[in-house]
Structure 1
Amino acid sequence: MVRIGAIVLNVSDRRRAAAFWSQALGYESAANPDFLVPTDPHAPRLHLDEDDRTHLDLWAADEDEQRTEVERLIALGARRVDWEYPPDADFVVLADPDGNLFCVINCGA
């Protein structure tokens, strides 16, 4: 089953957001400065992004689980979103019944 792996926050200033959220949540900077990681290995990381909109990244263990979960989520009421994917995309963009976007990511890719 998928889990919330990351919360993508749309921010206007990554440094300011990183300073705030790391102190607010006790998260630490990752090797990639766009990410803050929790000390609890089960908590989602934060992805600070100045271009993308705020959304959830749901993580699947591999391609088979990703495919199964996408089908399951669609059966629950999600819908595929017309998206321009890069050739090596490891994610599928869906929308919940209210139109909120989220990604299902193949973490084994």
Structure 2
Amino acid sequence: MLRLGYPVIGVTDLQRATTFWTSALNLVATEEWAGDHWRTLEHADGSGRALCLMYSESPPEPRPRIHLDLLVDTAAEQEQEVARLVTLGATRVDWDSYPPAPDFVVLADPDGNLFCVIDLSHAPSG
């Protein structure tokens, strides 16, 4: 039976990426498949795998077709989380494709991988 696993992010500095993503999402690094080229991160509450990091020499894509969306419930929470992520090492991306009144902010992790922080208060109801 085929089933979906979990997202894998290519990184050039495995330790730096582990520090960033565990802090950003309250995850913990496990020893599962741990090595010089791989880290598995799981939910701190023990509910299972959440994200994997894989060493990669290729540069991040400037406009990735697949990326992570991190969700918050309000615009105020979005501002707080964006600020917190920046203190952890993320950078704001000068995104030229923002729509009018966007519900998302584009950031890059310390390796330059793009991700978004989405304010769900703009989501359609129903």
- Range into which the TM-score falls when normalised by the shorter chain: 0.5 to 0.7
* Separation in 2, partners of 1:79, 1:107: 21
* Separation in 2, partners of 1:89, 1:52: 18
* Separation in 1, partners of 2:80, 2:105: 12
What's the TM-score once normalised by structure 2's chain length? Answer: 0.46
Paired position in structure 2 for 1:87: 100
Are 2:99 and 1:69 equivalent residues in the alignment? Answer: no
Letter aligned with residue 55 of structure 1: H
How many residue pairs get aligned? The number is: 66
1:1-109 residue pairs with structure 2 within 5 A?
24-25=3-4, 53-84=65-96, 85-109=98-122
Matched-pair identity in % = 60
* Separation in 1, partners of 2:94, 2:120: 22
Deviations 1:16-49 (A, max 9, x none): xxxxxxx624xxxxxxxxxxxxxxxxxx9xxxxx
Letter aligned with residue 59 of structure 1: L
**Deviation (angstroms), 1:101:** 0.4
* Separation in 1, partners of 2:64, 2:83: 25
1:89 aligns to what SS in structure 2?
coil
What's the TM-score once normalised by structure 1's chain length? Answer: 0.53
* Higher-Rg member (1/2): 2
* Separation in 2, partners of 1:100, 1:69: 17
1:68 aligns to what SS in structure 2?
helix
RCO (CA 8 Å, sep 6+): is it higher in 1 or 2?
Answer: 1
Structure 2 residue ranges without an equivalent (≥5)? 5-49, 51-62
